[in-house]
Amino acid sequence: MASRKESFFKQLFKDGNDINEKSFIGFLAFMMMIGFAIADIITGALGKELLVQEFIFNSFLWLTLGCFGIASIDKYVNKKSGSEEINNEEI
């Protein structure tokens, strides 16, 4: 199992990989936001207050939105340029 994780991280940092790094980082930031939410619900049910600085949560929020937004734009631009390349080859 360690070699599988190792190969994933090696593939993640290669130039010619199939993994979208922006989506991966956005997903990790989103999971951290979910972790904060679950911890807040649990501590609230126990009658304690979870003190998370607002700027920390907002940092994960902006990181998530930025990564997914950039990944979406990148996907759209690559899709559009790919169709233009096909049209140029036909001419």
Task: Indicate if the alpha-carbon torsion angle 11, 12, 14, 18 is positive or negative.
Answer: positive
For residue 1, tell me if it sits in a domain. no
- CA angle in degrees (0–180, nearest 5) for 21-22-28: 90
For residue 6, tell me if it sits in a domain. no
For residue 77, tell me if it sits in a domain. yes
For residue 15, tell me if it sits in a domain. no
CA distance 33 to 31: 5
Domain that holds residue 62: 20-90
For residue 11, tell me if it sits in a domain. no
Domain count, the chain: 1
Q: What is the predicted pLDDT for the residue at 24?
A: 83
CA distance 24 to 68: 9
For residue 33, tell me if it sits in a domain. yes
For residue range 38-85, list pLDDT tens digits in order: 998 999 999 998 887 888 888 888 888 888 888 888 778 877 766 555
